[in-house]
Structure 1
Amino acid sequence: MGQELIPNGSFEKYQNCPRQDNLLEEAVPWYNPNLATPDFYNQCFPTNQIEVPPRTGVGLARLFLDQGWAEYLATPLTKPLEAAKCYYFEMYVSSRNPNQYIAGTIGAHFSNQPLTSTAKSLLFAKPQVLDAQASTVSGSFKWDKISGTFEAKGGERFVTIGSFNKLPAMLAFYYVFIDDVSLVPIELNLGNDTTLCGRKSTYLLNAKTPGATDYRWNDGNTSPTYLVTKPGKYWVTVTTPCKILSDTIVVDYALNFTLGRDTTLCNAQSLTLRGPANAPNYRWQDGSGQPSFQVAQNGTYSLRISQAGCVVTDTIRVSFIKPPQLDLGPNRELCGAEVYTIKPMFAEGTFAWQDAFPQTERTVGRSGTYLATVTNACTTIRDSIDIDYGECGCVVYTPDLFTPNADGLNDLFQPIACGDITLKSLSIFNRWGELIFHTQTAPFQWDGFVNGSVCMGGVYAWQIDYELQQREKISQKQKQGRLIVAY
């Protein structure tokens, strides 16, 4: 915030404690610019005239407004206003009867010479700040703010506060209490470029500007303040009703170093911790003073560096663990419909199949490469096992004889195959080559019935269509054979 230009803006100071009405001049340097009788009250002398407690402190002023009667407050500023410079003005008003308050009338006029009048009526002046709200006073004896910004012409040395537009049209007088009058230049200053100690240091930038309607930092942040946590150039643009302001600051760090995050290493590994280059001194946790430190065991390690009154310390925790272990076993060659259960041997970590198979052990019946991992904070290791049916052939097996007599033994004709084979259809033919059974849906089996009746004993033929997939190759296959039905 800029320098406060309203002296005694909260009516705290006085020459003599006011013990009656009409004593504004006691609130130095405030004065009465016309022949009306503005009031000054202070709790140095409690009185029933103080109908509302001061907004802050112990003092306040009061204006009486009626038909043909206008009271004002006036004071010299602490210094003249500068030409083309923007200023922010605010004050707080309160009234017993909000419905009597005339909106758009109360304001502040700034002038090179004091406004004066030998009458008690309105002063003829155009205020730079005027109450622009439709209904400023929100309730009986509630403090409400009147504020605004303006650009000075230069040389203004006095402020006059009161009604500049109208007074009550009939005898319906009312009082307006006034407190906390303020005038400050609208300025933005983030301060000089600065240097902090180390990366744990922070720096709060304050861009709070009177009357601001928008803040925009270099990263898009819209708060009036910004917490710096790393070195760099920072800038902000502040929008006010009067002008747009901007400022830039560079924040540097004298000892901007880190040993890194806490880390976990495998046994037999090592870690070299390094301090910043060209530092004036180094002090490690064991008292040594070299620029680097070799870590080979569990522990907490720290480095302290001091420079020109700046002391920075950083710490790192290093843990060593055993590396993970994994063995899926040797590659396997399978024959026919043979299956194999892979039983991984692993330790020091979490096991997972690459294809997300949910169990650790898995039974396989298809050619392929099966991959798995074991992971811990140290690292991840991988292993694989190849299953291959190609060495002795992946074939379809069928029985030569079946007995569909419902005795629970050998009642179905059902082919079987290794996992690389996918059956597509099964067809049965009689001795004359006529198709008597066909299915393209699993399970691929025949129970010996034809059109609802059990077939006669004898010789039949079968045909199976299937798909063979080994590695990346897919082949369409067909196989035929003889079948004996017996009872």
Structure 2
Amino acid sequence: MRHWLTILTLLPLLVQGQQNLVPNGGFEDYCPNLDQGGAEIWNVQPWDNIVATGGGADPFNVCAQLQIITTDTFHIYSVPENNRGYQFAHSGDGYAGFYAVSDPETYPNGREFIQTSLTRPLHAGVRYEVKFYVSLTEKFQYAIGSFGVHFSIDPLQAADYYLHELPFGTEPQIQSPSGVIYDDKENWMEVRDTLYIPRTEEAGQQWMTIGNFLPDTLSQITFVDSGAGYGYDRSYYYIDDVSVIALDSVPSDITGQEALGFDVWPNPATDVVRFSVRDSHGRSSLGMTIRVLDAVGREVRHSSPSGKEGLGEVDVQPLPTGIYFLELTGQEGRKAVRKFVKQ
């Protein structure tokens, strides 16, 4: 009986650690219906879109009604058959769709972005797995290789709706790997990466925006086929199962993180990184741990301060050149992070 009590006590912690911060990441909680004027992504709460095409992102679901277009009958927003192509949901009954590249002559750099708020802000010192699935629609000719995800404190807006400009001039924190073209019209392709925010002042983002953040000239636009006879000279994707999951536990005392004084030298470093730790509350540095993380938050080295003096060093000579983070975890889960460069 004691073993069962232990398992039940730990279970809520495990579930919390794997909680998806994206509400309605599968676009399930809405039934598109043109008769009620509801075939727009903003009806799939809490999702919205940023448009630079003169249109808007679309919801699709198996519950969508038959709609009449000219002499043909379509399940316009249904699943699996709709006016963009034919695809089953990656899971559940629904998904969304958006233009990743529009007609370059009519809408240069025209595209659509989907956006939602997270259930809680992102925290410093925590690795997040960011993941979603895309499938190129069969009626469109072109594929791209440049999906990105941008996290922001406030919701983003298009710079100029009518000039079809991108919504902002900054790079997304998550960018799909170079050289991968998302050209599969039959299956879902995974887009996944790890996000790591090293410093408290760089955290706090609670809005997530997904789309193609690169201009047409850099979007790796690739001709796939004639678009199932329709020949639409654009790139339109279904998207499903969007998730942001914390891979590390979130400290309960976020406001107390920088109560830890934390110095790192030399920077840049070639062989050894030295550090000193000062606890402004007067507590000993015993029990504190140091981790060296790479640019995506993976641990590559670890160490501990030596006694009350709070001094230590980490051998970084074997590490490849690049940007790294020294993460200190103190008592009560408080964290502080410093960036350094390995030459």
C-alpha distance after superposition, 1:21-58 (max 9, x if no partner): 85101110001233641111111115223621111001
Which residue number corresponds to residue 161 of structure 1? 210
Q: Deviations over 1:276-309 (max 9, x none)?
A: xxxxxxxxxxxxxxxxxxxxxxxxxxxxxxxxxx
For residue 25 of structure 1, give the secondary structure of its aligned residue in structure 2: helix
1:175-203, CA deviations, whole angstroms, 9 ceiling, x for partnerless residues? 111000000112279xxxxxxxxxxxxxx
Q: Which amino acid aligns with 2:41?
A: L
The equivalent residue for 2:93 is: 58
Q: Whole-Å Cα distance in 2 between the matches of residues 32 and 58 of structure 1?
A: 21
CA contact (8 A) 1:113 1:157 kept: yes
Q: What is the letter of the counterpart of residue 88 of structure 2?
A: P
Matching residue of 2:58: 39
Residue 109 (str. 1) matches residue 150 (str. 2) = yes
- CA deviations 1:215-237 (Å, max 9, x no partner) are xxxxxxxxxxxxxxxxxxxxxx9
Q: 1:261-272, aligned counterparts within 5 Å?
A: none
Conserved 8 A contact 2:144-2:183: no
State whether structure 2 residue 44 is matched by structure 1 residue 23: no
Please list the CA deviations of residues 238-283 of structure 1 after superposition, one character each: whole Å capped at 9, or x if unmatched: x98413299xxxxxxxxxxxxxxxxxxxxxxxxxxxxxxxxxxxxx
Counterpart in the other structure of 1:182: 243
- Partner of residue 150 from structure 1, selected from 187, 192, 195: 195
Identity %: 28
Q: Which residue, 284, 295, 298 being the options, matches 1:243?
A: 298
Q: Check whether the contact 1:5–1:183 (CA below 8 A) recurs between aligned residues.
A: yes
> Of residues 128, 131, 154 in structure 1, which corresponds to 2:173?
128
Distance 2:44 2:59 in 1: 7
Give the SS at the match of 1:72.
Answer: strand
- 1:11 and 2:30 correspond: no
Residues 74-113 of structure 1: matches in 2 within 5 Å? 74-96=115-137, 100-103=142-145, 105-113=146-154
* Contact preservation (8 Å) 1:70, 1:167: no
Runs of 4 or more consecutive aligned structure 1 residues displaced over 4 Å after TM superposition: 168-171
Q: Which residue of 1 aligns with 2:18?
A: 2
Which segments of 5 or more consecutive residues in structure 1 lack a partner in the other structure?
Answer: 190-236, 247-487
Distance 2:178 2:133 in 1: 13
Alpha-carbon distance in 1 for matches of 2:18, 2:181: 26
SS of 1:115 mapped into structure 2: coil
CA contact (8 A) 1:11 1:27 kept: yes
Task: For 2:42, give the aligned amino acid.
Answer: E
Matched length = 197
Change (3 A) 1:187 1:84: closer
Normalised by the length of structure 2, the TM-score is 0.51
Letter in 2 for 1:81: L
CA distance in 2, matches of 1:70, 1:150: 24
Q: In structure 2, what residue type is equivalent to 1:178?
A: I
Counterparts of 2:248 and 2:300 in 1: how far apart (Å)?
Answer: 8
The answer on whether the counterparts of 1:42 and 1:60 sit within 8 Å (CA) in structure 2 is: yes
C-alpha displacement of 1:19? 1.9
The equivalences for 1:468-487 within 5 A come to none
Whole-Å Cα distance in 1 between the matches of residues 20 and 27 of structure 2? Answer: 14
Asked if structure 2 preserves the Cα contact closer than 8 Å seen for 1:113 and 1:156, the reply is yes
What TM-score comes out, normalization by structure 1 length? 0.37
The Cα shift of 1:86 comes to 1.7
Distance 1:136 1:91 in 2: 15
Cα distance in 2 for residues equivalent to 1:42 and 1:79: 27
SS in 2 for 1:177: strand
In the TM superposition, residue 139 of structure 1 has moved relative to its aligned partner by 2.5
- Specify the alignment match of 1:409 in structure 2: none
- Structure 2 residue identity aligned to 1:85: V
Would you tell me which structure has more strand in proportion to its own residues?
A: 1
- Contact 1:6–1:182 under 8 Å retained in 2: yes
Question: Is the alpha carbon distance of 1:11 and 1:128 closer, same or farther for their aligned partners in structure 2, counting shifts above 3 Å?
Answer: same
CA distances 1:143-170 after superposition (whole Å, capped 9, x unpaired): 0001111123211010001110123789
Q: Are the structure 2 counterparts of residues 121 and 173 from structure 1 closer, same or farther at C-alpha, using a change threshold of 3 Å?
A: farther
3-state SS of paired residue (2:49): coil
Q: Give yes or no for contact 1:82–1:154 (8 Å, CA) kept in 2.
A: yes
| Shift in CA distance, 84/99, structure 1 to aligned 2, threshold 3 Å | farther
In structure 2, give the amino acid aligned to 1:23.
E
For residue 101 of structure 1, report the CA deviation from its aligned partner.
1.3
Over residues 82-103 of structure 1, what are the superposed CA-to-partner deviations in whole Å (9 max), with x where a residue is unaligned? 1232211000000036972121
Across the aligned residues of Structure 1 and Structure 2, the Cα RMSD in angstroms comes to 3.2
SS in 2 for 1:159: strand
8 Å Cα contact 2:144/2:182 also seen in 1? no
The CA distance in 1 between the partners of 2:242 and 2:88, in whole Å, is: 16
Q: Distance in 1 between matches of 2:132 and 2:116?
A: 14
Report how far residue 122 of structure 1 moved.
Answer: 2.2
Contact 2:150 2:173 in 1 (8 A): yes
Structure with the larger RCO, 1 or 2 (CA within 8 Å, 6+ apart): 2
> Which of the pair has more CA radius of gyration?
1
